[in-house]
Amino acid sequence: MDTTSEAVTADSKRAGGSNSGASGMRTDGWTRSAMAAAFAAALAIRLPLMTQPGFGGDLMQFVMWADRGAALGTAALYDQRPDGRRISNYPPGYLYLLKGVARVHDLFATPESRLSIQTFGEVGLSYGTPEARQAYFFFKLPSVLADAALAMLLVSLLWGRVGGAWAASAGAAYALLPCVWHNSAAWGQMDGILSLILVASLEAARRGRIGWMAAMAVAAVLTKPQAAMIAPIWLVALVRVVRTDRQAIARAISASFVVAVALLWPVRSRLDGVWDALVGAATFYPFTHLNGFSAWFLQRPLDAPDLAQLARVYARDDAAWLAGLTPRALGLIAVLGVWVYVLSRARRALQGIESFEHWTDWAACVLPLAFFVLATQMHERYLFPAVALWLWAARPTAAWAIGAGLLALSVTVNQCWVWAGPADGWYTEWSRRMASGPWFGLRTGEFFALVNAGLLVWMLSRRRVQGR
């Protein structure tokens, strides 16, 4: 799709030393063994959970979208309901995957166990019937495979950068961290798929493969618009390569166009619905937080989630609050302020004064944290991709390990605070106790909102990302 300019390649070699080649896909026997172990461990811990009930509301919605998409086409998912809302508020990327899952499910199902209205109800009510368990398995499978693939990929990508022990540890961490398998194999969510695409785009950016980076960036945004939180990295990577290779812009535009057309063409009759899913997302739930332990959680802390009473329990983010500005506007200004700071620090990397790779690693840690901590409307799962990005940006230092551990703990507790797990899950009681608090005399959400804010301040205050 593109080639890296000689200057950029030389710069990468200077930054990475003799290990820069090994940081790619070249692997030896130990690397392959560690990759296989990470993949196997990820599957082993997830398989027992895949036939158990997940988060009923989300899984039922996914099953309904999948069945309708398979029967009527993905464009039909953007039809309007009687209340004016679209049937689906997701971009098309994940909807295509759901459509494929529905067809694979029915291919292996008996005529009596194919997707139907009865299946929707059983999944939504977390029943344990054979038909429901089959649906749980197939609709959790894509995210589970994405988890296993990313665990394996982290080992491969990091082996030459930080050494075998740290690379294997990062892969094992992603395979075994509760926040990751709880999200995919238990809950049934798709955040692991987005994380895989984001890591692929960052690796392409790091290597100067601008065409691939652009393709992955478009795919990520058309899977979930929150992917745009790392846009400054994509921008700086493009500028870096364009300075020595003017054709990089053409490659980036071409790759973006091809992926955009491929994903949008099947829904071309409902592009207004896709636009609503991308840009209108802020109007779906106009509240300062939606159970995410962001800084805004401190403004309206809760002892327990209560989405059944949104208007009464949660504070709106579209009402004037400070100096005539709404919380939504203040959050946007704060996020953009972090973007400006991140871009200002990129100047030294673009000038060759500091390592571009180190800046990319630092920015990959800062940007998802800033988005979650400062913006409004944060769900409990919106910090999830940060775990994968921090592991991808691994540094063999105690400070990084402690920071990554605190982040993973925060993501785990936030998810378990909203949904502890299946009723008969082997870990459900443990996660319920962990999430109930208090933590050091504070509500669970208050404590971890402070942890997340502290991690952001710590990362922003670091003068440079430490190398090996």
**Contact predicate 251/2, CB 8 Å:** yes
Which residue did the predictor score with more confidence, 120 or 259? Answer: 259
Is the backbone of residue 5 left (phi > 0), alpha (psi -120 to 50) or beta? beta
- CB environment 191-225: b (16+ within 10 A), e (fewer): bbbbbbbbbbbbbbbbbbbbbbbbbbbbbbbbbbb
Q: What are 304's two structure tokens?
A: 């327990």
User: Which stretch of DSSP H or E encloses residue 231?
Assistant: helix 231-242
- CB environment 412-423: b (16+ within 10 A), e (fewer): bbbbbbbbbbbe
Q: How many percent of the chain have pLDDT more than 90?
A: 84
Q: Which of 303-307, 339-343, 373-377 has the lowest mean pLDDT?
A: 303-307
Annotate 341-380 with DSSP letters as a single string: HHHHHHHHHHTTSS-HHHHHHHHHHHHHHHHHHHSSSEET
In 55-186 the beta strands, taken as DSSP E runs, fall at none
pLDDT in tens, 394-425: 999 999 999 999 999 999 999 999 999 998 88
Query: What is the dihedral sign for C-alpha 244, 245, 250, 254?
Result: negative
pLDDT in tens, 81-122: 998 889 999 999 999 999 999 999 999 999 888 999 999 999
Tokens 């491969």 found at: 156
Query: What is the dihedral sign for C-alpha 456, 457, 458, 460?
Result: positive
Among 465, 456, 447, CA closest to 400:
465
Query: What is the dihedral sign for C-alpha 395, 397, 399, 405?
Result: positive
The yes-or-no verdict on residue 9 having pLDDT over 80 is no
Query: What is residue 468's predicted lDDT score, i.e. its pLDDT?
Result: 38
Averaged over 121-137, what is the pLDDT? 94
Query: What is residue 309's predicted lDDT score, i.e. its pLDDT?
Result: 85
Q: Which residues contact 152 (CB under 8 A, 6 or more apart)?
A: 35, 36, 38, 39, 42, 171
Pairing of strands 378-379, 289-290: parallel
Categorize the per-residue pLDDT at 284 as very low, low, confident or very high, splitting at 50, 70 and 90.
Answer: confident
Give the integer Cα–Cα distance in Å for 288 and 306: 14
User: Which stretch of DSSP H or E encloses residue 290?
Assistant: strand 289-290
The yes-or-no verdict on residue 62 having pLDDT over 50 is yes
Query: What is residue 366's predicted lDDT score, i.e. its pLDDT?
Result: 98
Among 298, 316, 322, 418, CA closest to 377:
316
Radius of gyration in angstroms for the set of CA atoms belonging to the chain, rounded to a whole number: 22
Query: What is residue 463's predicted lDDT score, i.e. its pLDDT?
Result: 66
Tokens 């106790």 found at: 433
Categorize the per-residue pLDDT at 353 as very low, low, confident or very high, splitting at 50, 70 and 90.
Answer: confident
Is the backbone of residue 235 left (phi > 0), alpha (psi -120 to 50) or beta? alpha
